[in-house]
Amino acid sequence: MKLNVKRLLAATAFGALATAAAAEYPERPINMVIPYGAGGATDISARTIAEPLGEAVGKPLVMVNVTGAGGATGSVNVQNATPDGYTMLFARVGSHSVNPAMKATLPYTLDDFRFVTVYEINPVACAVSPSSGIESMEDLIAKVNEGGVTYSSSGVGSLLHLAAVMVLKEYGVEDPLNQATHIPQKGGGAAATAVLNGTATFLCTNSSALANFVANNQLVPILVTTPDPVPGFDAPTAADEGKPALHQLVGWTGIAGPDDIPDDVAEKWGAWMATATQDQGFLEKMTTRGSVIELMDPAQANEFIETQYNTFRKLVDELGMRIEG
């Protein structure tokens, strides 16, 4: 509360100064749209970076949660915003690579956004319930071939949905859509619960969403998709298993604006992010949650997302998963 009063005073003072001096970006608070709900992975990541980032920017960052339709509602909000750099988006793997790859009806494409950075990579892990008797990917695949295996996700077109399919496909399951059943849930928490109570056999999701259950021995990890092991997850990596194609399967968080934001705005963001990601407190908080901090400049970010999108798109087209309706 105190902090906000201070911020208010500071904002008023700055406002007066800014109008007197030549207007230079940013001259007022910047709205940062988070397309997912409070308490979720994107929200926590965004609010953690907001602290050092706000200092670097020098103006308050107003965190705006606009939820709905798997991140589409918030993304469209930014897509249609004035491209002046005062409305930016925390883009996420779900909203900006899985969704565009899977949904033909999505009201936006990747070209509608200009990425200024990707700053965080989340490993993906697959987990099963200890009572299932499954101890490794081999066991799981054997079960899939027997039939009756199900996997949960946070909804159609979510990372969790695609991840499970992609992992099964990589492990040689010919037709993952019909050999295993997808049971969509409302949200990531519900997806983990579904595996916990036996509704679904396994799920593949960001390691941060599973860390708690793994630490409590409620879920057993059987695979992580990164080349390096994830602390706290006693499971083979995709590299150990000889599946390098799965390295593409990671979560990420980045910042984007509408596609026609001016160049100088994009450059400023690059500089701010470089400062913000150096912050010790930020690094510590993020890495304890299992994230890998990897700052990309706009060109790298675009390439990274494009590659991931194309990988996903290829898989989706191959299996006929694209949602047309």
Partner 1 sequence: MNEKTLQMRLGLGACLMALFLVFVAIPNWVAAPSNVPNIILSPLFWPYTLSAFTGLVGLGLIATSMRLPVTDETLNDPIDDLGPARMRMIGIAVIMLVSMFLFPRLGMVWTCMLAFLATAFLVKTRHPVTAVICAILIPLILYAFFAHVAGVAVPQGNFVRLP
Partner 2 sequence: MSFIDSIAAGLTLVGNIESFLALALGVIIGVIGGAIPGMSATMAVALTLPFTFAMQPITGILLLLGVYKGGIFGGSIPAILIKTPGTPASSATILDGFPMAEKGEAGRALGMALWASCTADLISNLSLILFAGWLASFALSFGPPEFFTLILFSLTIIAGVSGDSLLRGALSALLGLLLATIGLDLVYGTNRFTFGDPNMMGGLNFIAVLIGLFAIPEVIAMVWHPTAHLGKTRQLGSSWVSFADYKKSFKSIVRGSFIGVFLGSIPGIGAAPAAFLSYSEARRKSPDKENFGKGEVEGVAASEAGNNGVAGATLIPLLALGVPGDVITAIIIGAFMIHGLQPGPMMFVMNTSIIYGLFIGLIVSSVFLFIFGSLAIRGFKYVADVPKRILVPAVLILCVYGVFAVNNNIFDIGVMFAMGWVGYLMMRCHIPAAPFLIAFILGPLLEDNFRQSMLMSGSDPAVLIRGPITWFFWGATALTVFAIIRAGIRATKGLKSSTHEVDLSSE
- Applying CB under 8 A, the residues found at the interface with partner 2 are 1, 3, 33, 37-40, 44, 47, 64-70, 72-73, 76-77, 102-103, 105, 107, 148, 150, 155-157, 181-186, 189-190, 192-194, 196-200, 211-213, 215-218, 285, 288-289, 323, 325
Q: Smallest Cα–Cα separation from 134: which of 233, 229, 222, 242?
A: 222
CB of residue 222 to partner 1, shortest distance in Å: 28
CB of residue 6 to partner 1, shortest distance in Å: 10
Of residues 7 and 314, the one with the C-beta less far from partner 1: 7
Summarize as ranges the residues that interact with partner 1 (CB under 8 A): 1, 4-5, 7-8, 11-12, 15, 28-29, 31, 62-64, 105, 323-325
DSSP track, 31-45: EEEESS-TTSHHHHH
CB of residue 179 to partner 1, shortest distance in Å: 13
Q: Please tell me the distance from the alpha carbon of residue 282 to that of residue 91, in angstroms, as a whole number.
A: 19
Q: Please tell me the distance from the alpha carbon of residue 241 to that of residue 251, in angstroms, as a whole number.
A: 20
* Residue 70, binding choice from partner 1, partner 2, none, Cβ under 5 to 8 Å by partner class: partner 2
- Contact between residue 66 and residue 77 where contact means Cβ atoms under 8 Å apart: yes
* Residue 204, binding choice from partner 1, partner 2, none, Cβ under 5 to 8 Å by partner class: none
* Residue 186, binding choice from partner 2, partner 1, none, Cβ under 5 to 8 Å by partner class: partner 2
- Contact between residue 162 and residue 95 where contact means Cβ atoms under 8 Å apart: no
Q: Please tell me the distance from the alpha carbon of residue 106 to that of residue 100, in angstroms, as a whole number.
A: 7
Residues 6+ apart with CB under 8 A from 133: 139
CB of residue 106 to partner 2, shortest distance in Å: 9
* Residue 198, binding choice from partner 2, partner 1, none, Cβ under 5 to 8 Å by partner class: partner 2
Of residues 5 and 299, the one with the C-beta less far from partner 1: 5
Burial of 91 (0-12, 13-18, 19+ CB in 10 A): buried
